[in-house]
Structure 1
Amino acid sequence: MTATTLNFVMVNVLVKYVGNALPIFESAFLRFALGLVFFIPFIGQVRQVDFTRRIVKLSVGRAVFHAFAMVAWFYAMTRIPMAEVTAMNFMNPVYVSLGAVVLFGERIALPRIAALGIAFLGGLVILRPGLREIDPGHVAMIFSALFFAGSYLIANALSKELPAAVVVFLMSAMVPFVLLPFALADWVAPSFREIGLLFFTAFFATAAHYCMTRAFACAPQTVLQPVTFVQLVWATSVGYFLFGEGIDGFVIAGGAMIIAAVSFITWREAWRKRRA
C-alpha cells in the first residue's frame, strides 16, 4: 500500500509537469490511450466474457464518469497545490458511502453518519470557505471526487459479474473513446516530451492499481486504509521541493480528519461483517 501511494504521487508529479502544455481533454485522452499497452495481457480474459446489455450499459456509464473525473482532476492539478488535490481526493470513499445509501438503499447507522460528518468537516478545513478565495481548481476537485465515486459504485456492481482485470480493462479501453471527440475539438500536436510524460503517467497509474490489488490480497482494508494518509505526506513533500508549493497545516489537518473518518467506517464495516 505504501508503494501504491508512491505511484499515485508520481502520477501527480508527471501531470503537474505536463501542466497547461496541452489542452486538458487531450492530456486525459493521451494518458488513457497510451496506457492501453499495459492491458494487452488481459485481452484473453475479455474475449471469454458474455457481454450482456446490462454489462455494456454499466461499462459505458462507468467510462463516462471516469473520463470526466480525470478531466476535472487534470484541470485541478494545473490550478492548486498537489497536497490539496491529494487531500480532497480522500473524499472519494465518503461520496461512495453516500451513493450506496442514496442509490442502493444501504442502511446507515448513527456512528457512520458521525464519521461522514467529520469527513465533511475535514473537507471544509481544507477549503476554508470565507477565509480565502476558492479557486476553480478546488471546485474541479469536488466534481472529480464525485465523478470518481460514481465510477467506483458502478465498478462495484460490475465486479459482482466480471473478473477484476476485465472491469479495469473495459474502463481503460472505453475512456479514450469518450474523450476523443473533446480532444479532437482542440487538438494540439504533442511533443515527444509530453508523450513521454503521459506514457509514464499511465505506467505509474497502472502500477498503483496493481500494488493496491496486491495489498488488498495480503491484508484487510482496516489495516491498509490508514496507510493512504502517507500519500498526503509524499504529495506535500514533493510539492514543496519540486514545485515550491507551501506546506499548509490546514490541508494536513483536514486530510487527517478525512482519513480518520474513512478508516473508522472501514473498521466498523469489517467488525460488523465478522459479527455477522
Structure 2
Amino acid sequence: MSEAQHARPVAGILWMLATTLLFISVNVTVKFVGDGLPIFESAFLRFLLGLILLVPMLGQARHLKMTPRLWKLSLARAVFHGFAMTAWFFAMTRIPMAEVTAMNFMNPLYVTIGAVLIFGEKLRAPRIAALFVAFLGGLLILRPGMRDLDAGHVAMIFTAMLFAGSYLIGNRLSREMPATMVVFLLSISVPFVLAPFALANWVTPSLHQLVLLFITAVCATLGHYSMTRAFACAPQTVIQPVTFVQLVWSVLLGWTIFGEVPDLVVILGGVMIMGAVTFITWREARRKADVPESVKH
C-alpha cells in the first residue's frame, strides 16, 4: 500500500478505537449469553445468524473461481476458526473478560511462531527476545502454581493458537482472492463445521438469546470492517498499540457490569504481551521498508 494511502494516522487511530469498542461489545454480549446454551450451539448460532450480513457479497461470490486446493484451505481455516470461537465462548463463561482479552493478545505471537514453523521465516535475536517477554507476560496472567487455574484459562491458550492457525491460512488465501471473499468463505463454512456438534446437544434458544447472538455477529462483522479501514488509513506501527485499549475496556466493563475486580498482575501481563507484539510489528515494518523497491517487485 502506498504512503499516500497510509497518510491519515488520526483517522486510522479513530477507526481502531471503534474496532476495540465493537470487539469488546462482542465480549459483553457473549458474557450475557453465558452458559445458557451449549457452547457449540452458541458459536454455531453466532455464525448462522451472521449469514444475513453476507447478502451484499453474493454478487461477487458468483464470480469466484474455486480450485480443490482453495476449497481444502478454506475448510481447514473453518475448522481452526470454528473451534477457536467455541473455545473462546467457553472461556468467556469461566474467567473474567480482562483475562480473556489479555490472553488473546498472544495470538500474533503464535502467528509469528507458526510462520517460522510452517513457512520457514527467519527469527532474529530481537524477535526472539520479544517472544520471550510475551511468554513471561502470559505466565504473569496465568501464574501457574500461585493460584488455581480454571478450564477457561486452558481454553484461551488453545483459542489464541487456533486463531493463529486461522490467520495464517487466511493470509495465504488473501494472496489468491479478494479479502471480502476470504471473509465470505469463512462465514459460510464455519456453520457447516460446527453444525454436527451443535445439533448433538441442541437446546431451543430463547428470543433474548437469539437477539444477543445476532448482536454479537453484527458487532464482530463491523469490528472486522473498521479494523480493515484502520489499516488502510495508517501503518500497523501506528495502529497496533491502539488495540491495547481493548484491555482497558475489558477491565472497566468487566468491573462495572459483571463485578469482576481488576487484577493488576493480569493488566501488567497484558502490557508486556502488547509491548512485545508492538515491537515485532515495528521491526517487521522497518525490515520491509529497508527492502529495495526492485526486490519488492
| TM-score, length basis structure 1 | 0.99
Partner of 1:90: 105
Matched, 1:205 2:220: yes
Matched, 1:42 2:57: yes
CA shift for structure 1 position 43: 1.2
Residue 194 of structure 2 is aligned with which of 179, 182, 187?
A: 179
Partner of 2:5: none
Higher mean Cα deviation, 38-47 or 159-168?
38-47
Partner of 1:62: 77
Residue 125 of structure 1 is aligned with which of 124, 131, 140?
A: 140
Partner of 1:21: 36
Matched, 1:165 2:180: yes
Distance 1:50 1:180 in 2: 26
Q: Tell me which amino acid in the other structure corresponds to 2:52.
A: V
Partner of 2:263: 248
Residue 72 of structure 1 is aligned with which of 87, 111, 114?
A: 87
Residue 111 of structure 1 is aligned with which of 126, 129, 143?
A: 126
Partner of 1:99: 114
State the 4+ residue runs in structure 1 displaced beyond 4 angstroms. none
Distance 2:253 2:119 in 1: 39
Partner of 1:138: 153
Partner of 2:10: none
Distance 1:173 1:166 in 2: 11
Distance 1:238 1:107 in 2: 40
CA shift for structure 1 position 50: 1.0
Distance 1:251 1:229 in 2: 13
Partner of 2:229: 214
CA shift for structure 1 position 210: 0.4
Distance 2:184 2:25 in 1: 22
| TM-score, length basis structure 2 | 0.92
Q: Tell me which amino acid in the other structure corresponds to 1:51.
A: M
CA shift for structure 1 position 48: 1.0
Deviations 1:125-153 (A, max 9, x none): 10011110110000000001100000000
Q: Tell me which amino acid in the other structure corresponds to 2:202.
A: W
Q: Tell me which amino acid in the other structure corresponds to 1:244.
A: G
Deviations 1:35-62 (A, max 9, x none): 0111111111111111011110000000
Distance 1:161 1:43 in 2: 18
CA shift for structure 1 position 223: 0.4
Deviations 1:188-210 (A, max 9, x none): 00000000000000000001000
Gapped runs of 5+ residues in structure 1?
Answer: none
Deviations 1:78-112 (A, max 9, x none): 00000000000000000000000000100110000
Distance 2:64 2:218 in 1: 26
CA shift for structure 1 position 23: 0.3
Q: Tell me which amino acid in the other structure corresponds to 1:136.
A: A
CA shift for structure 1 position 220: 0.3
Distance 1:190 1:218 in 2: 40
Percent of counterpart pairs with the same letter?
Answer: 67
Matched, 1:191 2:209: no
Q: Tell me which amino acid in the other structure corresponds to 2:218.
A: F
Partner of 1:224: 239
Count of residues in Structure 1 that have an aligned counterpart in Structure 2:
276
